[in-house]
Structure formats: C-alpha cells, structure tokens
Amino acid sequence: MIGFVNVFKPAGPTSAQVVARIRRIYSSVARDRKLTAGHLGTLDPQAAGVLPVAVGKATRLIPLLGPQRKSYVCLLVVGKTTTTGDALGDPTAMASIPEDWQRRLPSVVDRFIGGIEQRPPMFSALKHQGRRLYDLARKGTIVERKARRVTIYALNVLGFEGKDAVRLRIACSEGTYIRTLCEDIGLALGVPAHMGALVREGCGPFVLFESRTMAQIADDPKAALTAPEHIIPFPTVVLDLRGSADFRAGRAVAVPVGAHGKHVFVRDEARMLVGIGEMHGALLAPQKVFV
C-alpha cells in the first residue's frame, strides 16, 4: 500500500497522534503491522486544518516533493503577548490597545510581504543538541535561536473581530512560524500581540476543501488514499515482465519508447508501482525501488 492522505486535523491532537491513527487504519487494511506513515510538516496541537500524511513506501517519496508552500488563516490578537506566542500561553506583557491600530494595520502588514527574517519560537519542534525546543521551554530553559529567511507571498486582512482581534490570511514558504509573524506585526504596530486560532488551508498540492476527517478516512480508507502520480508531477512508464524484474533487482533497463522527463514512476505489467527511475540517455536507472 502506497499513497498520500489529505487529513483534516482538528484542534487538540498532536500531529504525531494523527499519524499514529492513520497508520493503524491502513495497517489494518493492508494487514501489515509494520506499515509506515509520516506527515509532511507538523501542525501545532491547537491548530486545525490540512495535515498531509504519506502512507507505506510513500514516506520515501517525501524528499521528492520539495519545499511546500503553506497557506493559513489566523486570528491576530493585540494587547497581550504570551509565553508560547499563542492563546494557550501565560501572559508575559500587556498594554492598552491604541485606538488607531485597525486603521494602521493594512500598511503595517504590507511591510511583511516578501523575504523576511524570523527567529523560531522556543515553543517549536526544532531541535537544539538533540532535544526539542518545546521540551526545553517547558522546563524554563531558553536557548539562542538563529534567525532564518522565510518568504511571505501574500498577507491579507480578512476582517476585524471586536476591538482587539483581526483575521489574516497568509501564503508563505515552508518553515514560516505564524505565531512569530503575529508577534512581529504587533511590534510593528507598537502593541503586544499573539496568535489566536490557526487553520492551515493548504500545504503544497493538499488543500482544505479536499481534506477528510479521521472518521471519513476510517469509513473508506482506500477512497482517501491518493496515488503518488497525482501528487508528484512525474510521468509514468510501464515495463514488461523482464524489465520490471531487472528494475526491481536494481539494474538499469532500456528506456521505453515515448518516455520523457528526468524522473518517471515505473509500473509493471500489472500496473503495480515498482519505483522511481532516472533517465540516463537510453537507460532508465532505479532511483527508488519498492520491492
């Protein structure tokens, strides 16, 4: 069994808990207790939305997907910063809210479009000397984090909620921390701020309106599984019995007539996915083999 599942993660469970549930569902279908699964980017427990999960040998295809653009809708709350940068943390700073902050906000958010520097928050899954930053933060340990370059492709004001909050839609590069973005926007406004609710609307080719709840996936696991060819834009070639046997054994084979592209999905005569091949002139060399 191999493919990708576009999971709608509700607020509450961790990404690891969702992946574990997906693994159990598909292990039962495949009758394979050793079936692997892995997500394509952590979503915080309090966040909801798109969590793509690779099932089976699709986990070996994750590096081929490349950087995944992300899109989010979040609630920016002004007047308070927190230990975690979101609504779950304890207050660290509070201030009165300027009366003109809503009027100034559109021009302020425009400054963040393009390449910006971000310092990852302590409450993140990044590692420092082999330990997760959030584990260190929970023990009160703060370590230096290097700022890194991320890109904000679009940042739109959707509407205000009361006197202290606004909904934002963000399109950004992989590795962007929305809670940090909210804090930085607050700094630019001259008022403490943190991130409220967060929904991920897109992660690369996976979008919110196509995502499925855990209950929907459990009801029809096969319908929820998307073939790798529909996610990674490689052409597909079909090898005959001898060719697919050689390919599985790790030997280069002759490129089938009409094949094109540097990388291709390889299927056998039964249309079973054999692996991914790389073109070298007239030869097709195995790059990844699914035995």
The Cα 180–Cα 272 span in angstroms is 45
Give the domains, in start order, of the chain with CATH numbers.
2-66+205-230 (3.30.2350.10), 70-203 (3.30.2350.10), 236-289 (2.30.130.10)
Residue 111 has what pLDDT?
96
Q: For this structure, is 44 an active site residue?
A: yes
Residue 131 has what pLDDT?
63
What are the pLDDT tens digits along the chain (291 aa)?
A: 899 999 999 999 999 999 999 999 999 999 999 999 999 988 988 999 999 999 999 999 998 888 889 999 999 999 999 988 898 888 999 999 999 999 999 999 999 999 999 987 656 565 655 666 666 556 566 666 677 899 999 999 999 999 999 999 999 999 899 999 999 999 999 999 999 999 999 999 999 999 999 999 999 999 999 999 999 989 999 999 999 999 999 999 998 887 788 899 999 999 999 999 999 989 999 999 987
Assess contact for 216 and 21: CB atoms under 8 A.
no
Catalytic: which of 32, 44, 164, 246?
44
Residue 122 has what pLDDT?
57
Residue 112 has what pLDDT?
97
Residue 142 has what pLDDT?
63
